[in-house]
Structure 1
Amino acid sequence: MNRARLLVMNAALGPLDYRVPEGMSVEYGSVVVAPLGPRQIMGIVWEEAKLPAHSVPDEKLRPLLGLVDVPPIRAELRRLIEWTADYYIAPMAAVARMVISSGGALRGPATMTEYRLSGGMPERMTPQREAALEALEGEQATIRELAGIAGVSEGVLRGLVNQGVLEPVEVDVDRPYPRAAPGHAVVELSEDQQAVAARLVEAVQAEEFAPFLLDGVTGSGKTETYFEAVAQALRQDRQVLVLLPEIALTEAFLSRFEDRFGTAPIVWHSSLKSTERRRAWRAIASGEAQVVVGARSALFLPYANLGLIVVDEAHEISFKQEDGVRYNARDVAVMRSHFERIPVVLASATPALESLHMADSGTYEKLVLPSRYGGATLPTIKLVNLTEEQPGRGAWIAAPLRAALEDRLEKGEQSLLFLNRRGYAPLTLCRNCGFRFQCPNCSAWLVEHRLSRRLSCHHCGHETKPPERCPECGEEECLVACGPGVERIADEVAEILPDARVALVTSDTINSPEKAAEFVAQAEAKAIDVIVGTQLVTKGFHFPELTLVGVIDADLGLEGGDLRAAERTYQQVAQVAGRAGRGSKPGEVLIQTRHPDAPVIAALEAGDRDAFYEAETESRRHAGAPPFGRWAAIIVSSEDDSEAREAANRIGTTRPFLDDVMILGPAPAPLALLRNRYRYRLLLNARRTANLQAVIRDWLRQVDHPPGVRVGVDIDPYSFV
């Protein structure tokens, strides 16, 4: 190859051609460094037929500067980059940046200095030094990491280094990970689990594309079942990717994985340190990494020999990326499996309607686990009609749920209360003049967080201290919290059950894998009586002593303009209900609602999932909604409202008129101001026969915008705000 076409990491540049200098050997997928004016840029060598561009004569080509010391990006991953960019109408460069996601990994071999106890003693002992010596026994890490482990300052540890108590150790940054052993633990599976596991193992052995929907009730042991497929992939020396929707779920999963395979898998998420990202990325690219457990971004890592993908809790909306490249990791996982020619398992107790439709049509193979493992039974579900059983003034827990909480505490059993609303109250207003606290950057109310003593915007992160007087009328002690958040529910539990040990579980309190592990350990040790939480507690956790689940406001998810509201409500409530009665003791679920006759609430009470999905399917079919039609959104934004409105109107006036595509809008977005940008939306509803992406590309290509205007496209949107 004497010339190379590069996909560069800057979408504005487009493909660029370069000369390959003598002595440099490159191939498709090679990561290279190239000159661009006085700068250096990074690019991936691409097939010219797959990346069309204006051809430059050989004599005008500048030479490549160097070859990056990483394995070439494989053809299967290059095809995935192309498909993702085409399907989600995103620049290929933006997708490729998710592959080359660790700048440190692109540098050559590296070492770093870590420290460990030498066995010596300091000349003078202090309480901090004594605490450090006790905490660091058997530990080896950087000074910063050791300081965190010991709970002392870095200065204390540097003093121990100077006295030889801590000794330096030079370590390879890319040192190998411990090996997982497929036969480490013997697992007893039920008859249903064995049948499903055998089919998954067979698919891994075949090394062919095979999409599965693993549909098992909560507590049926889906994880243990697909672990058998993971074990088979390890026996064949193939890599495995397991996608999880929340970092908070990772620690519980890692513990189960280590029990089964003897060591923890490699973890990939946004909270990793740069050295950890580098080590993981290079191990994945070299093929040394065996099993990777990660958030959605792990899907685009350059696996050398992928043999299986599992998407756990595949219904979760957090698999949908809402900015940048707006992709759905569940769907892209299926496409990656297609290009890699390997099985993919979508596991869920409440599958997405689209996934069930794919199974019913025969595109996915459906595997069912109809009952809980070990003889545990599904919980009984009862409704609490809030129009009849009204909580007292300023209270949110109705009498039947209050009595059930008292009963479980007396029996020494655990309870869980679910409300998908962080903070203390969603709105704070002045009782004197009616002033409402609104975010200055977004068209949203500020949420009161009493634990942190802040008013916060959950969209842009803006925070302010609650004032002592109303900013509008100046009145003191007039601010009123309106509505409940989980902090308010936790306070109410403390009033009802003053002796109960209450844990608050939200993304504010469980914001790291370590804190998640601490919460799980306390719950398993029965050091918690009542858990109060948001959607974080709806999945993944297994507490045998938890026998009561209370849903504070089942109607909350049905409010607003979410076109999937009924499905999401069913999934959330069914998932949180599934936390009850997972051990030998029976479980009970009390669902507080003002609309007991709503189809989704009635289905939850009856435990009739199939009836709900059938009704929802017919509703979607009638509306031409997914999976029977397609949605797409065009979002126009600017820091100037009139500029955004004019740009949206220009797009609207050039709209195509097609029989198989209906276009609504433009109209102000429900969240009309977000992070200081004014937003307008157009919504497209297309039949399955329409080439929706081509329609949008051709349409938007006709319209120019001022530099301050951004136009984003969201294919298969999940958010409509």
Structure 2
Amino acid sequence: MNRARLIIFNAALGPLDYRVPEGMHVEPGSVVVAPLGPRQIVGIVWEAERLPASEVPEAKLRPLVGPLPVPPLKSELRRLIEWTADYYCAPIAAVARMVLASGGALRGPATMTEYRLSGGMPERMTPQREAAIEALDGEQATIRELAGMAGVSEGVLRGLVNQGVLEPVEVDCDRPYPPARADFAAPKLSPAQAEVAKRFVSAVEARRFAPFLLDGVTGSGKTECYLEAVAKGLEMGRQTLVLLPEIALTEAFLRRFEDRFGVPPVVWHSSLKSTERRRAWRSIAAGQAQVVVGARSALFLPYANLGLIVVDEAHEISFKQDDGVRYNARDVAVMRARFEQIPVVLASATPALESLQMAESGVYERLVLEDRYGGARLPDIDTIDLTEEKPERGRWLAPRLVAQMEARLARGEQSLLFLNRRGYAPLTLCRNCGFRFECPNCTAWLVEHRFSQRLACHHCGHETAPPPACPECGELDCLVACGPGVERIADEVAEILPEARVAVVTSDTVNSPERAAEFVARAESGAIDVIVGTQLVTKGFHFPELTLVGVVDADLGLEGGDLRAAERTYQQVAQVAGRAGRGEKPGEVLIQTRHPAAPVIAALAAGDRDAFYAAETEARRQAGAPPFGRWAAIIVSSEDEAEAREAAHHIGDARPDVADVAILGPAPAPLALLRGRYRYRFLLNARRSAQVQDVIRDWLEALKFPQGVRVSVDIDPYSFV
């Protein structure tokens, strides 16, 4: 090659051509450094015929600086990048950027200096030094990372280095991970599990695309089944990727993996230190990382020899990214498996309707586990009609649920209360003048958090301290908390059962793998009697002594304009119900509701999943909703309300008239102000045969917008706010 076309990470410029100096070797997929104005930038060499760009005469081309010391991106990954950009109407540079997620990994082999406690003590002890020494016991990292862990300045730690309290350690940035052993501790599978595992193993051996839907009830041992396929991949020298929906679930999975294979897998998520990201990225690209467990971004890493993809809890909406490139990791995982010609397993106790429809049509092979492992029974489920069995005044738990909790406490068993609402109360208002605390950046109420003594917005992160007086009328001690959050339910439990040990489990309290591990250890050791949690507790946890689940407000998820509300409610309640009775003791689930006759609540109470899915499928078919139709959203935003409104109407005036595509809007978004930007939305409802991405591209590419206006496209949206 004497000419190279590059994807560079500036969407405004598009692809650029460069001259390849004599003696320099680059190929499609090479990661290179190139000049751009006075700067040097990173780019990826791409096939010119697949990436149109304006032709530049040979004489005007600037020379490449040189390739970076990382393997070229494989053609299968390049095709995935192209497909993702095309399907989700995203700039190809934005998708490619996700592959190079660790800038430090591109610099080649290196060593670095980390620090750890030496065991010595400083000549003069200060409160900051004492706090640092206590916090850093057993830790080893850079000065900057240690300062973050200890909550002190880097200067404090450098003082400890000078006094020998912290000692330097030279480490290889890319030291290999200890190898996993396929035969370390083979499990005893039930006949049903063995049949499913055998199917997965043969698919890994066949080395061809095979999409599976593993549909098993909670506690049926789905993980053990797909770990047998992982073991086969290890024997064959192939890499495996396991996607999990929540970082908090990682710790429990790591322990199960280590019990099975002798060592933990390689982990990838946003909480990793930069040095850990670098090491993982380079090990993955070199083919040395055998098994990677991560959040959705792990899907775009440059695996050298991928042999299997598993998407655990595949129904989870957290696999859908709601900003930047708005992709669904579940669907992109299937496409990556197709490009790589490998099997992919979507595992869930409550599969998405789209996945079930793909199985129904024969695209996915559906494998079913109908029974819990080891003879454990599914829990008994009953509803509590809150219009008849009313909680005491000022309380939120009905007498029957309270009585069952008291019985469990007396027997030394555990209870779990589920309410998908963080904080103490969703609204705080003044009882004197009716003033409501709203976020200045979003059309949302501020949520009271009593643990942290803050009023917080769950959309933009704005926080403020609760004032002593109403900001509107100046009245003192007049603020009232309206409605319950998990903190308020925990307070109620403490009043009703003062001897009970209560744990609140939300993304605020369990916000790292370490805190998740601490919570699991306390629950398993019997140090917790009652768990009060949000959707974080609905999946992945296995506590044998947990025999009662109470759903505090099953109607909560049915409110608002969520077009998948019934399905999402069914999944959440069924998943949290599945935490009960996973050991030898039978479980019970009590669902508090004001609408016991609602189809989704009735289906949950009857344990009739098939009836619910059949009714929901028919309703979707009649509405032309996914999986029988297509949805797409266009979101217009600006910091200036008039500018956002004008841009939205400008788009609306240019709307195309296309058969099989209905265009609704523009309308103010339900969250009309979000993070300081005013927002308008369009919703497109199309037949499956319609090329809705082409319609959107042709429509929007012809329009020009002011610099302050952002227009984003969301294909297959899950959020409608």
* TM-score between both structures, scaled by the size of structure 2: 0.97
Residue number in structure 2 paired with 1:448: 448
Q: Aligned residue for 1:29?
A: 29
Paired with 2:439 and 2:553, the residues of 1 have a C-alpha distance of: 25
1:182-225 CA deviation, whole Å, 9 max, x = no partner?
11102100000000000000000000000000000000011111
Match of 1:433 in 2: 433
What residue in structure 1 maps to residue 597 of structure 2? 597
1:124/1:719 Cα in 2 relative to 1: closer, same or farther (>3 Å)?
closer
Aligned counterparts of 1:44 and 1:255: Cα–Cα separation in 2:
37
Partner amino acid, structure 1, of 2:294: G
Shift, 1:547, TM fit: 0.2
C-alpha displacement at 1:651, in angstroms?
1.0
Identify the residue that residue 577 of structure 2 maps to in structure 1: 577
Matched residue, 2:204: 204
Deviation for aligned residue 1:705: 1.2
Q: Quote the offset at 1:658 in angstroms.
A: 2.1
Instruction: Give the direction of change, closer, same or farther, for the CA distance of 1:146–1:692 in structure 2 (3 Å limit).
Output: closer
Query: What amino acid is the match of 1:39?
Result: R
Residue in structure 1 matched with residue 517 of structure 2 by the alignment = 517
Counterpart check, 1:655 vs 2:655: yes
Amino acid at match of 1:458: H
- Quick check: 2:122–2:160 contact (8 Å CA) kept in 1? no
2:404 corresponding residue in structure 1: 404
Cα distance, 1:2 vs. partner?
0.9
1:558-637 alignment to 2 at 5 Å? 558-637=558-637
Q: CA deviation at 1:56?
A: 1.5
> Is the counterpart of residue 98 in structure 1 residue 98 in structure 2?
yes
Alignment partner, residue 79 of structure 2: 79
Within-5 A mapping of 1:73-222: 73-115=73-115, 141-142=141-142, 161-162=161-162, 167-222=167-222
Alpha-carbon shift at residue 114 of structure 1 (Å): 3.0
**Deviations 1:643-662 (CA, angstroms, capped at 9, x unpaired):** 11111111111111222011
Partner of 2:690: 690
Partners of 2:325 and 2:148 lie apart in 1 by 35
SS at 2:383's partner residue? strand
Matching of residue 367 in structure 1 with residue 367 in structure 2? yes
Quick one: structure 1 residues 288 and 650, their matched pair in 2 at CA, closer, same or farther if it must change by over 3 Å? same
Measured in 2, the distance between the counterparts of 1:679 and 1:146 equals 41
Within 5 Å, give how 1:229-244 maps onto structure 2: 229-244=229-244
Report the counterpart of residue 478 of structure 2 in structure 1.
Answer: 478
Supply the RMSD in Å over aligned alpha carbons: 2.0
What residue in structure 2 maps to residue 415 of structure 1? 415
Q: Match of 1:489?
A: 489
Alpha-carbon distance change, 693 to 165 in structure 1, aligned in 2, over 3 angstroms: closer
Per-residue CA distance 1:286-306 (angstroms, 9 max, x = gap): 111111111000000011110
Q: Provide the secondary structure at the position in 2 that maps to 1:685.
A: strand
Q: Which moved more, 1:410-419 or 1:468-477?
A: 468-477
Question: How much does 1:171 deviate?
Answer: 1.1
Aligned-pair CA distance for 1:702: 2.4
Distance 1:124 1:359 in 2: 69
Cα gap change, 1:509 to 1:116, in 2 (>3 Å): closer
Whole-Å Cα distance in 1 between the matches of residues 666 and 158 of structure 2? Answer: 61
Amino acid at match of 1:214: L
Report what 1:309 is aligned to.
309
SS of the residue corresponding to residue 49 of structure 1 reads helix
Match of 1:323 in 2: 323
Instruction: Report whether the alignment pairs 1:347 with 2:347.
Output: yes
Could you say if the C-alpha distance between residues 206 and 457 of structure 1 is closer, same or farther in structure 2, counting changes exceeding 3 Å?
A: same
Residues 145, 273 of structure 2: 8 Å contact kept: no
SS in 1 for 2:50: coil
- 1:6 maps to a residue whose letter is L
Secondary structure, aligned partner of 1:481: strand
Instruction: After TM superposition, list the pairs within 5 Å mapping 1:529-568 onto structure 2.
Output: 529-568=529-568
Q: CA deviation at 1:436?
A: 0.6
Q: CA deviation at 1:615?
A: 0.2
Contact 2:500 2:529 in 1 (8 A): yes
Cα separation, 2, equivalents of 1:394 and 1:411 = 28
How far off its partner does 1:108 sit? 2.1
| Letter in structure 2 aligned against 1:644 | A
1:386 is matched with which residue? 386
Q: How far is 1:148 from its partner?
A: 8.2
Report the Cα distance in structure 1 between the residues aligned to 2:163 and 2:655, rounded to whole angstroms.
74
Shift of 1:168: 3.0
- Give secondary structure in 1 for the equivalent of 2:33: strand
- Larger CA deviation: 129-138 vs 465-474: 129-138
Q: Note if 1:641 corresponds to 2:641.
A: yes
Letter paired with 1:339: F
**Structure 2 CA distance for partners of 1:8 and 1:592, relative to 1, 3 Å:** same
Q: Does 1:39 align with 2:39?
A: yes
The 3 A distance-change label for structure 1 pair 473 and 315 is same
What runs of 5+ residues in structure 1 fail to find an aligned partner? none
Q: Deviations over 1:261-318 (max 9, x none)?
A: 1011111111111111111111111111111111000000011110000000000000
Secondary structure at the counterpart of residue 601 of structure 2: helix
Amino acid at match of 1:209: F
C-alpha contact 2:8 2:16 (8 A) present in aligned 1: yes
* 1:62-77 paired onto structure 2 within 5 Å: 62-77=62-77
Q: 1:181 to 1:148 in 2, by over 3 A?
A: farther
SS at 2:49 equivalent = coil
* Corresponding position: 1:8 with 2:14: no
157-166 vs 579-588, which deviates more?
A: 157-166
Q: Percent identity?
A: 80
Whole-angstrom CA distance in 1 between matches of 2:41 and 2:124 = 53
Worse-superposed segment, 236-245 or 648-657? 648-657
Deviations 1:610-649 (A, max 9, x none): 0000000000000000000000001111111111111111
Cα deviation 1:95-154 (Å, max 9, x = unaligned):
000001111111122111234576x86697979999999998876554566788899997
Task: Name the CA distance, whole Å, in 1 between partners of 2:668 and 2:139.
Answer: 56
Q: Partner letter of residue 268 of structure 1?
A: W
Deviation at 1:52, TM superposition (A): 1.0
Cα 1:603–1:168 change in 2 (3 A) is: same
Partner of 1:247: 247
What TM-score does the superposition give when structure 1 sets the normalisation length? 0.97
In structure 2, how many angstroms separate the alpha carbons of the residues matched to 1:355 and 1:243?
A: 16
Question: Offset at 1:700?
Answer: 1.1
Higher mean alpha-carbon deviation, 497-506 vs 460-469, is at 460-469
Contact 2:122 2:165 in 1 (8 A): no
Structure 1 pair 121–494 and aligned structure 2 pair: CA distance change class (3 A): closer
> Across the two proteins, how many residue pairs are aligned to each other?
720
- For 2:135 and 2:441, locate their aligned partners in 1 and report how far apart those are by CA, in whole Å: 45
Q: Out of 645-654 and 576-585, give the one that drifted further.
A: 645-654
Partner of 1:718: 718
Question: What is the identity, as a one-letter code, of the residue corresponding to 1:34?
Answer: A
Change over 3 Å in CA distance of 1:145–1:21 after alignment to 2: closer
Amino acid at match of 1:29: G
The 1:696–1:117 alpha-carbon spacing in structure 2 relative to 1, beyond 3 Å, is closer
Structure 2 residue ranges without an equivalent (≥5): none
The one-letter amino acid of 1:224's match is: E
